[in-house]
C-alpha cells in the first residue's frame, strides 16, 4: 500500500466518522420518540381499561336509592326498644 492509497483510506474513514457523528443524534431522537409514543399508547390503554372498569362498577350498582324501606325503619325501632327494655 503506497502513500496515496493510505491517504485515501484515512480520508474515507474520516468522512465515514463525520457521517456517523452527524447521523447519530437523529437516530437517537427517532428511537427516543418511538419509546415515548409506546409509553403514551400503553398509558392510554390503561386509562381506557380503568374507565371501562369504572363503567362496569356503575352498571352493577342499583339505580335505586339506598334509603331503607318503612319496614326496615319499623324493625329497627322495635329492636332498639327491646334492647332498652332488657
Q: Quick one: CA torsion of 27, 32, 34, 37, rounded to 10 degrees?
A: -160
C-alpha 40, offset from chain centre? 7
Instruction: Scan for cell 381506557, then name that residue.
Output: 48
Instruction: Scan for cell 332488657, then name that residue.
Output: 86
64 found inside a domain: no
Which residue range is the domain that position 41 belongs to?
21-57
65 found inside a domain: no
Q: Quick one: CA torsion of 27, 33, 34, 36, rounded to 10 degrees?
A: 150
14 found inside a domain: no
Tell me the residue length of the chain: 86
67 found inside a domain: no
45 found inside a domain: yes
78 found inside a domain: no
Calculate Rg over the CA atoms of the chain: 37
43 found inside a domain: yes
Q: How many domains does the chain have?
A: 1
80 found inside a domain: no
Which mean pLDDT values do the consecutive 10-residue runs of the chain (86 residues) have? 93 97 96 96 92 75 60 64 56
Q: What is the pLDDT of residue 67?
A: 64
Amino acid at each position: 500500500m503506497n502513500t496515496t492509497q493510505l491517504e485515501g483510506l484515512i480520508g474515507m474513514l474520516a468522512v465515514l466518522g463525520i457521517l456517523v457523528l452527524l447521523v447519530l443524534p437523529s437516530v437517537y431522537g427517532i428511537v427516543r420518540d418511538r419509546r415515548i409514543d409506546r409509553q403514551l399508547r400503553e398509558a392510554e390503554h390503561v386509562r381506557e381499561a380503568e374507565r371501562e372498569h369504572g363503567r362496569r362498577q356503575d352498571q352493577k350498582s342499583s339505580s335505586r336509592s339506598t334509603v331503607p324501606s318503612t319496614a326496615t325503619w319499623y324493625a329497627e325501632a322495635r329492636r332498639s326498644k327491646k334492647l332498652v327494655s332488657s
